[in-house]
Amino acid sequence: MNSTEQTQSINVGILGFGGLGQAAAQLLQPKQEMQWVAVADQTGYAYQAQGLNLQSCRNSYRHQGSVGHLEEIGTLSQTSIRDLIQQYPVDGYFLALPNLPNTFMASVVREFINVGWQGVLVDALKRTSAMEELLGMKQELAAAGITYLTGCGATPGLLTAAATVAAQSYAEIHEVNITFGVGIANWEAYRATIREDIAHLPGYTVEQAKAMSDDEVAALLAETDGILKLENMEHADDLMLELAGLCPRDRVSVGGVVDTRHAEKPISTNVQVTGRTFEGKISTHTFTLGNETSMAANVCGTAFGYLKAGTQFHRRGWYGVMTATEVMPQFVK
Ligand code: NAD
């Protein structure tokens, strides 16, 4: 990396201004290497070349329903993403959007390609089938001049990348087990995350979860005391680790416990990688996240680490799509 690559600040946009989008904007506040200049929610968008003000964006979103109400810099629109991305110069976007329906993220990516946008895109996508659709767009993304990094949240993301590092001790990987604990004080701060988690419960589909009203979600959570227990989830960690050559996807399992009434994690988040060394010893590496780190810290920190890495690829002329297991995230100063 040359000194120009290191010193050029990255102009960042955030698509989606819910739980993760707002946390992402807050996380960027003290950063020198990234400046938050663009944001879109479902009904509006805003852009400010010298950097957006977090508090004004939050006020506008919470009290008026959209960042599009911001005076002078905001615009209301039913096609907020397309309008924003085709008008303004932004180096990279974090897609903090709900993937409901399961094809939504791919349709957003198609908007970027259609308007001729070039730059870096990072998502925190969860479902295997959704990631397969994105990986299928590799040629189109490469031809469009877009560097796309997928699966760059916590799981998939931080834990999947950690599993790839841990696997280096082994000649054969027997099992990768990811267990997550999430604590959020109030489910409404992360509506899409919770709906997508409900879609993993036995008896539910993505379509059913998407169609549930807020009252129906609250009623379901009331039955379980605010707890969601998830097992054998369709999580793209399996596909990412298979593509990285660690093991067939059926050796990867993901599950967790989400408490929607307390900010403390109900259980520790960890990844365990079991394998056989070249000497024939069977062992397990465990990487456990600190209990004080929130879902938002682990997802958004990782997403921007990959956005920085993606920017370096983009500046060197590498376009296309990669997953979080193929690249090291770069720490954002
Ligand atoms: P949220 O419901 O809190 O917010 C979603 C935001 O997207 C809202 O601001 C909404 O206005 C906006 N939006 C919806 N449709 C839009 C459209 N058509 N155009 C523009 N904006 C639109 O969502 P959240 O809980 O922050 O979750 C975001 C995503 O992050 C989810 O898909 C979730 O699964 C994912 N996630 C990933 C991980 C991980 O570790 N990989 C962890 C947590 C969440």
- Residue 329 included in any domain: no
- pLDDT confidence of residue 3: 45
Number of domains in the chain: 2
Residue 218, helix vs strand vs coil: helix
Q: Is the CB of 41 under 6 A from ligand 1?
A: yes
* 130 CB within 6 A, ligand 1: no
Task: Determine the distance separating the centroid of ligand 1 and the alpha carbon of 90, expressed in angstroms.
Answer: 20
Parent domain of 192 = 158-291
Same domain for 256 and 207?
yes
CA of 96 to the centre of ligand 1 (A): 5
Closest ligand 1 atom to 298 CA:
40
Atom 39 of ligand 1, residue of closest alpha carbon: 153
For ligand 1, the distance from its centroid to the CA atom of residue 109, given in whole angstroms, is 15
Please tell me whether residues 89 and 42 are part of one structural domain. yes
Closest to 323 in 3D by CA, of 226, 239, 219: 239
CA torsion, ordered 319, 322, 324, 327, to nearest 10 deg? -60
Query: Peptide bond before 156: cis, by omega within 30 degrees of 0?
Result: yes
**Catalytic choice (33, 196, 265, 314):** 196
SS3 40: strand
Q: Which residue has the tokens 């995350």?
A: 193
Read off the pLDDT of residues 1-16 as tens digits, 9 standing for 90 and up: 444 455 579 999 999 9
Question: Which residues, at least 6 apart from 299, have a Cβ–Cβ distance to it below 8 Å?
Answer: 20, 23, 124, 153, 154, 157
The dihedrals phi and psi of 288, each to the nearest 5 degrees, come to: -115, 130
Pair (13, 149) in one structural domain: yes
For residue 137, tell me if it sits in a domain.
Answer: yes
pLDDT computed for residue 8 by the predictor: 76
- Clarify whether residues 79 and 191 are in a common domain: no
Q: What pTM, to 2 d.p., does this model score?
A: 0.96
Residue 333 belongs to a domain: no
The answer to whether residues 58 and 180 belong to one domain is no
Asked if residue 137 and residue 53 are part of one domain, the reply reads yes
Residues of the chain with confidence (pLDDT) below 50: 1-4
Q: Would residue 328 count as lying in a domain?
A: no
What's the pLDDT at 1? 45
Q: Are residues 102 and 172 in the same domain?
A: no
CA of 121 to the centre of ligand 1 (A): 15
CA distance linking residue 18 with residue 187, whole number of Å: 12
96 lines ligand 1 (CB under 6 A): yes
**Residue 330 covered by a domain:** no
**Whole-number Å distance between alpha carbons of 241 and 42:** 33
Atom nearest to 104 CA in ligand 1: 18
167 shares a domain with 93: no
Task: Dig out the tokens for 189 from the structure.
Answer: 């701060």
- On whether the CB atoms of residues 234 and 252 are closer than 8 A, the answer is no
Is 308 an annotated catalytic residue? no
Residue 71 and residue 145 in one domain: yes
User: What CATH code is carried by the domain that includes residue 64?
Assistant: 3.40.50.720
Q: Are strands 146-150 and 227-230 parallel, antiparallel or unpaired?
A: unpaired
Does 20 reside within a domain? Answer: yes
Domain shared by 276 and 163, yes or no: yes
- Regarding whether 308 and 233 lie in a shared domain, the answer is no
Helix (H) or strand (E) holding 36: strand 34-41
What integer pLDDT is reported at residue 6 of this predicted model? 52
Q: What is the Cα–Cα distance from 149 to 122, expressed in whole angstroms? A: 5
Of 178, 125, 87, the closest CA to residue 302 belongs to 125
Asked if residue 100 and residue 47 are part of one domain, the reply reads yes
